[in-house]
Structure 1
Amino acid sequence: MSSSTSDWVPPSPEELQAMLPQYEISEIIGRGGMGAVYQGRQAKLNRPVAIKLLPETFAKGEDELNFAKRFEQEAQAMAHLDHPAILSVYDYGETDKGQLYFVMEFADGMDVHQYLHHHGGKLTQESALTITAHVLDALDYAHRHGIAHRDIKPANILLTQEGR
């Protein structure tokens, strides 16, 4: 495997299911520079979840232990956030193949990048201001709790029917 995350091929839902048997994995719903996101269900609690899986290259190298520790600390900090515009984190861990993952609340919707693609690249001024206000409120809340997002972009802003 190349050390580049752009060459990384995420496991199929069936492969991830074998690695994380406590979750029922249905499909890959997103992929980017930071890994892949799967839709699934937490079997014991019968609730929908999203599982973000990072490429194993993220946890390898000379800073391997520090990265894994930072990932753990960030997952724990995120799990304590309680804000309507921030998805809840339920769990985190490492697969037997060394891939870090975290499990979060599943929210059905599309990201701003997808929305713009489907709507001719345009948002109304009212929609843009509403989305911006929600994002800034969520970022302010996260920052006050010691979390910095570090990757704000349209593809990372989810729009849902509930207005989250």
Structure 2
Amino acid sequence: MMARMAQPSRVGDLLAGKYRLDALLGSGGVGDVYRAQNTLIGRTVAIKVLKAEHATDDSVVERFLREAKAANLARHPNVVDVLDVGLDDEGVPFIVQEFLEGMDLGQHLKRSNGALPYRQVLELMIPVVEAVGLAHARGVVHRDLKPENVFLARVGGAVVPKLLDFGISYIKPQPGDVRMTRTGMTVGTPAYMSPEQLEGTAGVDVRTDVWALGVILYESLAGRLPFE
């Protein structure tokens, strides 16, 4: 384990006997994302692997796996598809998702020097709004909606917006569930957070996502944030 943790990445590792990690795509606070290959069927996928130092922290592992659960609950053509979850040989969890090519909305806004034509904004954001609405109906609040979490995937000759990263989402608890977010705990990206989310107020609900969607729409149309 210690030898692996000293390595800069896990490129070349084989997970669950079939997922070969081919390239490191990005790294976050708790996990690394790789382009990978399902060697049994030859499919390219994206795999998020929990960093080894967090693998023994039950609360971090629970949050990590809840990301997959939330995305699965919110299944929609405009939500990134979770294909599998598993553990490597040392018990480190990973999440397998569809591999997307393209850029996120934040990158697109920068390349467009800010404001987008309103028809393009409607084409990109109406599917995202519908996906968020479905998530809400299934008890999931994303809580980190922002341009960087709207991926503009190239599918054939079309651009398909895909909602990403349910890592800090809230799932309406069922009987027996453990509460994962403490009152007074602030999570999210400040520029897109509602006032109650910024304050860490208990009971943050679907309205915080509605606020964030409004900020994204404003930024896409005006070329700047509503509050600066």
Fold shared, TM-score > 0.5 on shorter chain: yes
Query: Which letter maps to 1:128?
Result: V
Q: How does 1:105-116 map to 2 (within 5 A)?
A: 105-116=98-109
Q: Where does residue 93 of structure 2 map in the other structure?
A: 100
Q: For residues 82-112 of structure 1, what are the alpha-carbon distances to aligned partners after superposition, in whole Å with 9 as ceiling and x for unaligned?
A: 3110121111133456643200111211111
Distance in 2 of aligned mates of 1:152 and 1:34: 19
Q: Larger radius of gyration, structure 1 or 2?
A: 2
Q: Secondary structure at the match of 2:34?
A: strand
Please say if 1:38 is aligned against 2:7.
no
Asked if the contact 2:50/2:64 (under 8 Å) is kept, the reply is no
Q: How does 1:14-163 map to 2 (within 5 A)?
A: 14=12, 17-18=13-14, 21-33=17-29, 35-60=31-56, 64-79=57-72, 81-96=74-89, 99-161=92-154, 162-163=158-159
> Which runs of 5 or more residues in structure 2 are unaligned?
1-6, 161-228
> Which runs of 5 or more residues in structure 1 are unaligned?
1-8
Distance in 2 of aligned mates of 1:56 and 1:26: 18
Distance in 2 of aligned mates of 1:10 and 1:68: 21
Query: Which letter maps to 1:55?
Result: K
Q: Where does residue 11 of structure 1 map in the other structure?
A: 9
Asked if the contact 2:24/2:34 (under 8 Å) is kept, the reply is yes
Q: For residues 106-156 of structure 1, what are the alpha-carbon distances to aligned partners after superposition, in whole Å with 9 as ceiling and x for unaligned?
A: 121111122223332342222223222122111111222232322212111
TM-score, with structure 1 as normaliser: 0.73
Distance in 1 of aligned mates of 2:54 and 2:123: 35
Asked if the contact 2:10/2:21 (under 8 Å) is kept, the reply is no
Count of residues paired in the alignment? 152
Consecutive aligned runs of 4 or more in structure 1 exceeding 6 Å deviation: none
The percentage of counterpart residues that share the same residue type is: 33
Deviation at 1:13, TM superposition (A): 1.9
